[in-house]
Amino acid sequence: MTRAAKKKLADQLGATPREIARELRAFSRAARVLSANHPRLIDSHPREWVGIYDGRVCASAKSFKLLVSMLKRQGYPPENTIIRYIDTSGRKMIL
């Protein structure tokens, strides 16, 4: 692939390959935290929305809207954050 083609592809994706790889690694860490720590999340954040970014819970709130506001205020990109409602009834809502 030529240099110009790589630049065009990166422009279309909105990020460089290095940035994309970094974001995928961060998402993977966050997904592992969600899977591995779900029982603890139920204990520490029952009936709350949580935002998990780069392998850690970075915010929690009683409403989705408030959580997104908190994420933005703290500098975390909501579009790159795993957001999940911690439901104690067993029903799952994943965004």
How many Cα atoms within 13 Å fall on the side-chain side of residue 59? 23
CA distances 29 to 26, 63, 81, Å, are 5, 24, 11
Q: How confident is the model over 18-48, as pLDDT tens digits?
A: 888 888 888 888 888 777 877 788 888 999 9
16 close to 10: Cβ distance less than 8 angstroms: yes
Cα distance between residue 92 and residue 84, in whole Å: 8
50 close to 41: Cβ distance less than 8 angstroms: yes
Q: Is the entire prediction scored with pTM above 0.95?
A: no
